[in-house]
Amino acid sequence: MDHTVTPEQSAAEQALTDRVLRSFAATDDPRLKELLAALVRHLHALVREVRLTEAEWEAAIAFLTACGDITDDKRQEFILLSDVLGASMQTVTVNNELDGDATEATVFGPFFVDDAPEIPFGGDIAGGAVGEPCWVEGTVTGTDGAPVPGARIEVWEADQDGFYDVQYGDDRTAARAWIAADANGAYGFWGLRPTPYPIPADGPVGRLLAATGRSPMRAAHLHFMVSAPGFRTLVTHIFVEGDEQLVVGDSVFGVKDSLIKRFDRQPAGTPAPAGRDLGGVAWSRTRFDVVLAREPAAR
């Protein structure tokens, strides 16, 4: 599409951008000034590059208004929009620079809850959530290979139907807990084998995905947040090797190859770790060794 404009028109458009930039010149906070200037430059550049029509501007305003209308204390449509545009994942990437073999971070997601119950080594996070039992084990170390005893490991996930406990609206606590790494940095717990599920697609973001031929599905995953004094808090997931959704694509761009793990299915009757009696059902197991980056030195 030809978007050629005359030099005179281009100069008029640039003059407007410059006037807007100057309007923020007296901003006292240098970071706020930097953010606003970049926003203006990039936003004006977008409008000029695509030659945005007034009808398209009105449609964009209506879309953002609809995002606000559907947002409440349990649903944040603007975060969902940030997720599907890759802005959430880009922010994670910018703020978690690669550090040797430290475990890579990914998106936080909207379903973390404070004050999840603590479980002991070998405990079960399911809390009544339905799904295939899965044994998860590993160690927490620093990039120097030394164990991180006492590291706090928060874990949460959806059930086999693709729902988190907070989505049921009945105050249940299920498929989430935290466990402390032992003196050797080791941990082990029972959870559920992750399954793919869709992000909420009944609102404006869902309509955007439909209009662009994109799937709302997330690849199967288990959430981790691992923290310890002196180390950068890690927010990440692990994904299931062989999950078809990994080929189709994760709707929020959260997958990293290093986070794809084998979840080995065990035949019914196979002895289970931590002395658990599974009543003769099949189960899975996986290993996830976490490597934490040191907290950067204060400047």
Each residue's pLDDT tens digit, 120-157:
999 999 999 999 999 999 999 999 999 999 999 999 99
Average pLDDT, integer, range 238-263: 97
Give the model's pLDDT for residue 256: 97
Which of 163, 157, 153 shows the shortest CA–CA distance to 175? 157
| pLDDT at residue 74 is higher than 80 | no
- Interior CA angle at 163 toward 159 and 198, to 5°? 115
CA 275 to chain CA centroid, Å, is: 33
In 3-state terms, the chain is what percent helix, strand and coil (to 5)? 30, 20, 45
Spatial distance between the Cα atoms of 38 and 43, rounded to a whole number of angstroms: 8
Spatial distance between the Cα atoms of 299 and 297, rounded to a whole number of angstroms: 6
Spatial distance between the Cα atoms of 237 and 275, rounded to a whole number of angstroms: 27
pTM (two decimals):
0.91
Spatial distance between the Cα atoms of 237 and 143, rounded to a whole number of angstroms: 19
Residue 191: strand, helix, or coil: strand
Q: Strands (DSSP E) along 22-130, which ranges?
A: none
CA 164 to chain CA centroid, Å, is: 14
Q: Exposure of 170 by Cβ count < 10 A (0-12 exposed, 13-18 middle, 19+ buried)?
A: exposed
Average pLDDT, integer, range 274-281: 92
Spatial distance between the Cα atoms of 142 and 148, rounded to a whole number of angstroms: 7
Residues facing 286 on adjacent strands: 136
Q: Strands (DSSP E) along 181-282, which ranges?
A: 186-192, 197-198, 217-218, 221-227, 234-240, 260-261, 264-266
- What token pair was written down for 131? 């799904």
Spatial distance between the Cα atoms of 222 and 111, rounded to a whole number of angstroms: 12
Give the model's pLDDT for residue 296: 79
| pLDDT at residue 105 is higher than 90 | yes
| pLDDT at residue 298 is higher than 60 | no
Lowest-pLDDT choice from 7-21, 33-47, 267-281: 267-281
Residues facing 178 on adjacent strands: 118, 154
Spatial distance between the Cα atoms of 169 and 104, rounded to a whole number of angstroms: 32
| pLDDT at residue 209 is higher than 70 | yes
Average pLDDT, integer, range 204-230: 97
What fold is seen in the domain 82-292? Protocatechuate 3,4-Dioxygenase, subunit A (2.60.130)
